[in-house]
Amino acid sequence: MFSYSKDGITVASMLDNRKENKNKSYPIKIRVTHKRIRKYYSTGISLKLEEWELLPKSRNKELRTVKESIENSFGLVKINVEALAEKGGFSFDSLNLRLSKATGDTVNTAFRAKIANLKREDRIGSMDMSVTVLNNLEKFAGKKLSFESISVDWLKKFEKHLLIDKSHSTVGMHMREIRTIMNEAKKAGVIKDTQYPFGKDKYEIKTAEGQKKALTLQQIGQVVQFSDGNETTQRYRDLWFFIYLCNGINVADLVKLKYKNIKDGEICFIRQKTEKTTKTRKEIRATVTMEIKNIIDRWGNQPNPENYIFPYIDGKEDAEKRKRITKDLTKRINKRMKLIANEIGIDNITTYTARHSFATVLKRSGANIAYISESLGHNDLKTTESYLASFEKEERQKNAGLLTNFG
């Protein structure tokens, strides 16, 4: 029904009648032929033979919708074949790679392609986020959500639906995931610029004001000195303190630290969060203070270059299992820190609090923002400035009060 040919490469939509489905229908696929090799790409649509024959000229509303969907899938493959042919570098491997990063016939298919990619790249945290968004999206809109359906009004309705039991920051994460998929769809020509729903005077993703999570030096001192005589409390309190002292290291990076990461009195590591998403590998260095050394001596493995510093992983785990171990450890640290916070009268303390406190204590002490940015592993100063801004409202309010402290 739809066909295209360029430089010896043919793209065509076809009814794949090699295997009949249970309801006597056949899958509709996009066939690409190059040097007598054929590859088939799913559209997610199946039709009976008589429906396929009627499709080109049918005025039936349902069949016309199906035809448009097939055309979208065909267009997606065609635009990527064209791009590769123009560069003179066509291969099925390169086409598969482009398509896996693109979309498909529905938003659902696009999310599943993205999830599969993230899994292949061992980016399990990002994969889990995409899975969560897809699950919530399908609960709201079903398993066959077209790109054309996602309009400004649709996004507002989805936002309202999410806010029933989710925070504004969670809604923002959902919308950013959808925006990424729509960006790919626009790039691939699946939707037109006029159909793109994000941006000024369209749907703008709201930025939730960050909760104040940074502690003062005095409060950190209270945390470090707290003891209830329980060894478990001491262990997780010390791990929290280690996170604070080690440049606000994420738990995912903490569990991967080996003794060979300690060089010339510094712990050197690359942030897992940015390792596969940035072009330059940015090494973070944290000084091994006496406090850090004492924590390692108390809770660490035997010193050996190939040994992990802390006994939570052994290196035999796959990325998914390592992610589960990291989440469990984070949960246990946070649970124990909540108990400590309640005892000393501070708002809830988490591993995030340790990272945020590291940054704000340095800022309040007059440290250069470029140094803070480098220590956190940020790629530019704007990220650091934005990161710090949301934790300083309390400080601004306190300073404003000094202006009228006449007594």
Element (H, E) at 240: helix 231-245
Four-point Cα dihedral 257, 259, 260, 266, nearest 10: 80
Looking at the structure, tell me whether residues 140 and 282 fall in a common domain. no
Element (H, E) at 330: helix 319-344
pLDDT, tens digit (0-9, with 9 covering 90-100), for 132-157: 999 999 999 998 898 889 999 999 99
Whether residue 219 is predicted with pLDDT greater than 80 in this model: the reply is yes
CA distance 179 to 175: 6
Does this model's pTM top 0.85? Answer: no
What's the token pair of residue 67? 């035809």
Which residues sit opposite 26 in a β-bridge?
47
What would the mean pLDDT of 22-32 be, rounded to a whole number?
A: 90
Model confidence band, residue 281 (pLDDT cutoffs 50, 70, 90): low
Amino acid 398: pLDDT:
62
CA distance 232 to 361: 27
Q: What is the DSSP string of 275-312?
A: HTTSSS--EEEEE--HHHHHHHHHH-----TTSBSSTT
Amino acid 279: pLDDT:
56
Amino acid 43: pLDDT:
82
Amino acid 14: pLDDT:
93
In contact, 299 and 238? CB cutoff 8 Å: yes
Final residue of a structural domain among 183, 208, 233: 208
Amino acid 189: pLDDT:
65
Whether residue 38 is predicted with pLDDT greater than 60 in this model: the reply is yes
Model confidence band, residue 126 (pLDDT cutoffs 50, 70, 90): confident
CA distance 44 to 202: 30
Final residue of a structural domain among 90, 118, 153: 90
CA distance 85 to 40: 18
User: pLDDT: is 127 or 105 the higher one?
Assistant: 127
Final residue of a structural domain among 60, 90, 120: 90
In contact, 307 and 301? CB cutoff 8 Å: yes
Identify whether 106 is part of a domain.
yes
In contact, 354 and 248? CB cutoff 8 Å: yes
Model confidence band, residue 198 (pLDDT cutoffs 50, 70, 90): very high
Looking at the structure, tell me whether residues 117 and 264 fall in a common domain. no
Looking at the structure, tell me whether residues 359 and 243 fall in a common domain. yes
Q: What is the arrangement of strands in the sheet containing 283-287, beginning at the earlier edge strand?
A: 262-263, 266-270, 283-287
Four-point Cα dihedral 25, 26, 27, 33, nearest 10: -160
Element (H, E) at 120: helix 107-120
Which residues have a Cβ under 8 Å from the Cβ of 385 and sit 6 or more positions away? 369
Looking at the structure, tell me whether residues 255 and 394 fall in a common domain. yes
Looking at the structure, tell me whether residues 272 and 231 fall in a common domain. yes
CA distance 164 to 213: 25
Looking at the structure, tell me whether residues 188 and 131 fall in a common domain. yes
Amino acid 59: pLDDT:
87
Whether residue 102 is predicted with pLDDT greater than 80 in this model: the reply is no
What would the mean pLDDT of 336-341 be, rounded to a whole number?
A: 96
Looking at the structure, tell me whether residues 38 and 120 fall in a common domain. no
Residue type (1 letter), 336 = R
Whether residue 275 is predicted with pLDDT greater than 70 in this model: the reply is no
What would the mean pLDDT of 236-250 be, rounded to a whole number?
A: 95
Model confidence band, residue 208 (pLDDT cutoffs 50, 70, 90): low
Identify whether 162 is part of a domain.
yes
Report the candidate in 355, 318, 313, 317 with the shortest Cα–Cα distance to residue 334: 355
What average pLDDT does the structure give for the chain? 86
- What is the CATH classification number for the domain harbouring 339? 1.10.443.10
Share of the chain above pLDDT 70, in %: 89
Identify whether 407 is part of a domain.
no
Amino acid 274: pLDDT:
66
pLDDT, tens digit (0-9, with 9 covering 90-100), for 350-395: 999 999 899 888 888 888 888 888 888 887 777 777 667 655 556 6
Looking at the structure, tell me whether residues 33 and 130 fall in a common domain. no
Amino acid 92: pLDDT:
83
Amino acid 111: pLDDT:
87
Looking at the structure, tell me whether residues 223 and 349 fall in a common domain. yes
Among 41-45, 296-300, 348-352, the range of highest mean pLDDT? 296-300
Amino acid 344: pLDDT:
94
Residue 135, Ramachandran bin (φ over 0: left; ψ between -120 and 50: alpha; else beta): alpha
CA distance 183 to 197: 10
Domain extent, residue 314, equals 217-402
Looking at the structure, tell me whether residues 182 and 281 fall in a common domain. no
What would the mean pLDDT of 55-65 be, rounded to a whole number?
A: 88
Number of folded domains in the chain? 3
- Poorest-pLDDT segment among 3-17, 74-88, 348-362: 74-88
The pair phi, psi for residue 198, each rounded to 5°, is -100, 150
Element (H, E) at 10: strand 9-15
CA distance 137 to 9: 37
Looking at the structure, tell me whether residues 111 and 135 fall in a common domain. yes
Which residues sit opposite 270 in a β-bridge?
283
Identify whether 95 is part of a domain.
no
Looking at the structure, tell me whether residues 355 and 373 fall in a common domain. yes
The angle subtended at Cα 98 by Cα 92 and Cα 101, nearest 5°, is: 140
In contact, 303 and 108? CB cutoff 8 Å: no
CA distances from 183 to 68, 102, 377 (A): 20, 9, 27
